[in-house]
Every structure is written in structure tokens, then in C-alpha cells.
Structure 1
Amino acid sequence: MVAALAVTVLAGACSNQATSGENSGANTALPSSCKQSKPVLGVALPNTVNPYYVAMRQSFIDNAAKSGLEVKVAIANDSDSNQLSQINGFIQQGVCAVALNAVNSGPGAASVAALNQAGIPVFSVNVIISPDDLKTQNARVVQYVGADQPEGGKAMGEQLLKDTGANAKIVAGIVGDPDQIPTNQRDQGFTEALRANPEAKVGPTVNSKVDPNVSLQVTTDMLQGNPDINVVFADTGPGTVGALQAISQLGKTGKVTLYGFCAANQPLDATYRACAAQEPADYARIVVENVQKHLGGGQVPATILQPLKIFTSGVPAPGEVG
């Protein structure tokens, strides 16, 4: 069972989406390399361990080929310093534009600033760059493309209330990633939705670091230290994988239910009740289309927020992940 949340497109700069700056169009100077017959788009990704980034990487390659762009992909292995070094590599190579999926929201601003200084337009995707850090470095991105994160968390909270009843006793723990703006927005949406139930309480948040093995450990610790928790909200797909394993290994199946962002190829069941799915391949397609439009002198919206698919049964399709 799938429901889609409404699409939101914001045409102006929106500080909470880290676009920090004016919308860019025909009057913005482009690097001379953009005049080549096949301009190069640099794509910076955190890793290719997470199925999310596997789908995004392939989509960038496929859609760039259709658009007449050459793609160079850099994988940071979840290191901010690696990513900044790779961004500097793109600058040395004289790429035309960069699609940046930052490893982390704050440090990503340094990559944006370096590209700005080189006159290379930056399109951020998925991970929102910290608006405060952008402001500090006087940096800006042309556009941000990603999911409507607060709505995804809100949808999970509302589904929980629908499943349990308006006044059920709920003690929820969050398996999150406090270092990222998008995951914090998901947590906020989930928490706000639960305020409709006076008997609902949101307890601790643990850091899964978007890693299933870390998630397994921190969820285990959270459930052992807080035996009254009867709901877990996991705000990433890898976080969901580890949380499910923890619930099973602790023998809490039937006592603790899970709501989260979708894990790859994981069916919904009586424990894993609902999930919100992003579509990273679609985000990459949108970025490529807007890069092309920008290079042609067209105006592009500063922020594009895509809907999430909400699953309450079945298995999300490949590429529909959290």
C-alpha cells in the first residue's frame, strides 16, 4: 500500500534548505569549460555502500549521457576531508558544474565555498548544506534538490497514531543521525505529529551514523537502557536495517514496533509497520535537467522538494529507499 506526499517546489531562495543566495540564471557567468561540446559534471557522493547512493550514482551517469554531459564521480568514503580534496580535484580538472551530496551538512559548506571561488556552479542534492555555515563562508548553491523531509517524518508519526489509536500509550526512541539537517527534520516531523496524542512521549535519540552495524549496536543499547520503549523511529534506511535486527535479537518482536525510512528490499510486517521512501535516482535526474537548463541561461528554482512514497505493506521497489 503506497501513498505519495504532495510535491513542493520553492522558486526563491529558502534558508532552511541551505540555498543561501539568489536564484541563478542567464546573467551568471559560467566557467569557460562549459563551452566544450561535452561539458563535465562533477558528482560528489558520500559512499556507494548505501543502496541509496548506488541508485543515485547510476542515475547521474545515465541521465548525463542522455543530456550530452560527461560525468566524473567522486566517492568520499564518508570522509569530509576526502570530499573536500575531491572537490579541489574537480576544480583543478576545470569541470563545468558540480552536483554535491555532502558527507555532512556543516563541513559541506567548505566545498561549496571552494567551488564558488573557482566560479563553478554548485547544485546540492539530498544532504542540505548548513545555512549558517554557508553564510559564514559567504557561499551559495544554485539549487537544492531532495525530499520533503519534515513531511516524511510527519507521515510516519501520523501512521503510528492511526495504527495505535489516538490515546494509546507510546514511548518512542529515535535511531537518527543528529549531524545531518535532513534527518533532524525527519525527527522533528515525527515528534510534532505525536503531539496530537497526550499519551505519546518521545525519548532518547541515538546516532546510527547511517550505518546498519552502528544502528544495531545503538538501538540495542537504547532498548536495553529504556525498557519502556515500545516504538522505534529510524530516520534512514540503514538505520532501519540495524533497528530491525536489534528488535529481533533482543526478543522484542511483538513488543516494539518500527516506523522509519525504507530499507532496501525489506518487506513491511507486523514489526516493521510503515516506511517513507525517497527516490534518489529521480533526484539525480532532476539535478541533471536543471544543470542543463542553467548552462543554457535559464532560470532554475532555488529549492525543489520531491514527495516521498509511504508504504504500509509490501516491499518498496528497488531504488525506493530511505
Structure 2
Amino acid sequence: MPNRNRTRGLTATAAAFSLALLAAACSNQATSGSTAKATDGALPGSCTKGKPVLGVALPNTVNPYYVAMRQSFIDNGAKNGFDVKVAIANDSDSTQLSQINSFVQQGVCAVALNAVNSGPGAASVAALNQAKIPVFSVNVIISPDDLKTQNASIVQYVGADQTEGGKAMGEQLLKDKGATAKIQAGIVGDPDQIPTNQRDAGFKAALKPNTSAKVGPTVNSKVDPNVSLQVTTDMLQGNPGINVIFADTGPGTVGALQAISQLGKTGKVTLYGFCAADTALTATYKACAAQEPADYARIVVENVKKYVGGSKVPAQVLQPLKIFTKGTPGPGEVG
């Protein structure tokens, strides 16, 4: 994303994905179940140095989400005795793979990978596997199908419980408008990615009890506020009956809010979404779900330390989201 501020992955249902992720995360490891142990395989020699290098691969630092995550990796890495090297891919899959290969050449102890995209991210995992460098994925889910194709595996995935975040927004919508209210909703999303599709699935599932609720078009914001403004404008102009928008990323929320205002739809269309940075809830922007990227980075760092020290770590860590219905989410509480 030169301006594509992402929180991304590929399509899959929440239930099917959960099973597939656990299988992929545990494949090619000597342990069974939902934990992995460092002593089951060789670790890079650099892990035994006084201050091992932890490589961190991030998509961009345009999105406030990744700004918070980057700083947390640096701060928590230092607290846990790591020399943290951060690589920013500027939203390019090829650049990120090149940066991963650089980590391999440097002989880093472990890598925390927030892939630019889920599918191409599997190639980065495979390159690290070949060098016997353990991979901890964060925020962006690496496609289980692509991991299988690459015969690759991660040690652990850390991120938000995406489906529950979308579900919470749908439930709040019904609470605000009524269990039988007539709802025609449009989604400002990213249909090519796993986490955003999980959010959408949770939102749709929450609305199912209301037979008067319909979820119509989904437009691709590409996790960019400028793109979101354009596609939301087009969606609202082409579907004048829409009275609710669900935006499944923070940048998508920013653009959707602008579109509602510019089209004079304030009071006619309400927005539920994942939290936009530094944006207060209003009568139009009714509720949002916030991730905590700094906390995800902390968890990754602490589990890398455990893993390279010979302890078991869970294959998946899903964190609850914070739900806001008033006020302004704090720094680092973003979608």
C-alpha cells in the first residue's frame, strides 16, 4: 500500500480457517497438538548470543496500526533482551520477500512476520523455514493453503479474534436500531483477505436473526482511506436504499465517514466499523471494534523468548477486541 493501510489476509470461513490454521501451524513440527517447542528442531546459532537479533517484517508505517506495532516491538524486544531489526515493505510483496532473505543472510534468531498479503507471505515463511529460522506471524494470517503448497509452517499466529469483532458490531447495530428493524447494509471491506472476511462473516451472522436485515454489496477499500471514500461514494449512489455501512478496517472507516458526509447522508446512513485512529464516535459513527497492535507485538516478543529458551508456546493466540460505543478510542486502539 504506498497508501494502502492494511490489516489483511485471504478468504475463508471462520470455522474452516481456525482448523486449517492450527493444522498449518503445527505441520512440519515434531510436536503434536496446539503447542510447539524449540528443542524439537535446530535453532540458528545466533539464538545463543548474548543479544539475539529478532527480525520484524511490517507492511508499512503509514497506517497508525503499524506505527504502534513497530514501537512496541522495539520497546518489548529491548526489555526481553533482543536486538530488534525492523524492515518496512512499503506494501510490496516482493520487497518484503527480499527483506526476509536479508534476515536469512544476517542469520537472525527469529522473525515476527506481519505479511503484506496472506498468500505471498507463505513464500517468506518457506524461505525462513529453509534457514531453520522460527517464524511468528502477527495480525495478517498466512494462507493455510499456500503454506501447504510451500510445505511451510509457522510457530505461532497472534492477532485479534476477527469474527467476534464483526459479530459485536452486528449485535450493537441490532441493539441500536431494534431486533426487527429494516436494515439494508453495505460493506466497505477488502474481499481478498482473511481477517476482513472473518469480520464480515461475523457481522452477517449477527444480523441473521433479523429477517428484515439484508446485507448487500461489498466494495473493496484496499484498506486505504482515499479508495474507501471513492468506493463508498459509488456504493451509496448506486444503492440509495442503504441505511447502514459496516467498514471492516480503520482506514475503511475513515473513507466511509467522509463519503456519508459529502453525499449529505448524515442522519440517513449510520456507520459501524473497526476503529479509525483518533476519531470520536458520533450519532453517525455509532460503534467500533478496536485492535491493540502494541499488545500483539508484546505477546509475540514474549513468546519468541520462551520458544528459543526451549519452552512450549501455543500455535495460536487470539485476543478479544475492545468495543466502543461512545468517546474516542485511545492511542493504539485502532482497526
TM-score interval, smaller chain: over 0.9
Corresponding position of 1:223? 236
Corresponding position of 2:20? 15
- CA gap of 1:16–1:161, structure 2 versus 1, over 3 A, is farther
Corresponding position of 1:296? 309
Corresponding position of 2:36? 24
Q: Which amino acid aligns with 2:48?
A: K
Corresponding position of 1:138? 151
Corresponding position of 2:202? 189
- Give me the whole-angstrom Cα distance separating, in 1, the residues matched to 2:68 and 2:187: 26
Corresponding position of 2:120? 107
Corresponding position of 2:46? 33
Instruction: Indicate if the aligned counterparts of 2:271 and 2:286 stay in contact, CA closer than 8 A.
Output: yes
- Give me the whole-angstrom Cα distance separating, in 1, the residues matched to 2:332 and 2:19: 28
Q: Shift of residue 27 of structure 1?
A: 2.1
- Give me the whole-angstrom Cα distance separating, in 1, the residues matched to 2:231 and 2:199: 19
- Give me the whole-angstrom Cα distance separating, in 2, the residues matched to 1:310 and 1:149: 12
The runs of 5 or more residues in structure 2 that have no matched partner are: 1-17, 30-34
Corresponding position of 2:9? none
CA deviation string 1:255-308 (max 9, x = no partner): 000000000110000000000000000000000000000010000000000010
Q: 2:85 aligns with which of 69, 72, 75?
A: 72
The runs of 5 or more residues in structure 1 that have no matched partner are: 1-12
1:42 aligns with 2:55: yes
Q: Which amino acid aligns with 2:149?
A: T
- Give me the whole-angstrom Cα distance separating, in 2, the residues matched to 1:20 and 1:299: 12
Corresponding position of 2:129? 116
Corresponding position of 2:11? none
Q: Which amino acid aligns with 1:150?
A: T
Q: Does the residue aligned with 2:40 lie in a helix, a strand or coil?
A: coil
Q: Which amino acid aligns with 2:20?
A: S
Q: Does the residue aligned with 1:106 lie in a helix, a strand or coil?
A: helix
- Give me the whole-angstrom Cα distance separating, in 2, the residues matched to 1:162 and 1:273: 11
CA deviation string 1:34-90 (max 9, x = no partner): 111110000000000000000000000000000110011000111111111110111
Q: Does the residue aligned with 1:109 lie in a helix, a strand or coil?
A: helix
Corresponding position of 1:54? 67
Q: 1:284 aligns with which of 297, 305, 308?
A: 297
Moved >6 Å (runs of 4+): none
Q: Does the residue aligned with 2:124 lie in a helix, a strand or coil?
A: helix
- Give me the whole-angstrom Cα distance separating, in 1, the residues matched to 2:327 and 2:307: 39
- Calculate the TM-score normalised by the size of structure 2: 0.91
Corresponding position of 1:268? 281
Q: Does the residue aligned with 2:209 lie in a helix, a strand or coil?
A: coil
- Give me the whole-angstrom Cα distance separating, in 1, the residues matched to 2:308 and 2:188: 40
Q: Shift of residue 14 of structure 1?
A: 4.3
Q: How does 1:239-254 map to 2 (within 5 A)?
A: 239-254=252-267
Please report the RMSD computed on the Cα atoms of aligned residues, expressed in angstroms: 1.0
Q: Give the number of equivalent residue pairs.
A: 310
Q: Shift of residue 20 of structure 1?
A: 5.0
- Give me the whole-angstrom Cα distance separating, in 1, the residues matched to 2:121 and 2:216: 30
- Give me the whole-angstrom Cα distance separating, in 2, the residues matched to 1:39 and 1:189: 40
- Give me the whole-angstrom Cα distance separating, in 1, the residues matched to 2:41 and 2:270: 51
Q: Which amino acid aligns with 2:116?
A: V
- Give me the whole-angstrom Cα distance separating, in 2, the residues matched to 1:14 and 1:37: 38
Higher relative contact order (CA 8 A, sep 6+): 1
Between 1:17-26 and 1:131-140, the stretch displaced more is: 17-26
Q: Does the residue aligned with 1:124 lie in a helix, a strand or coil?
A: strand
Q: 1:169 aligns with which of 182, 195, 201?
A: 182
Q: Does the residue aligned with 1:313 lie in a helix, a strand or coil?
A: coil
Corresponding position of 1:157? 170
CA deviation string 1:12-48 (max 9, x = no partner): x942465252432132210111111110000000000
- Calculate the TM-score normalised by the size of structure 1: 0.95
Q: Which amino acid aligns with 1:74?
A: A
1:255 aligns with 2:268: yes
Q: How does 1:81-100 map to 2 (within 5 A)?
A: 81-100=94-113
Q: Does the residue aligned with 2:281 lie in a helix, a strand or coil?
A: coil
CA deviation string 1:187-229 (max 9, x = no partner): 0000111101000001111111111111101111111111111
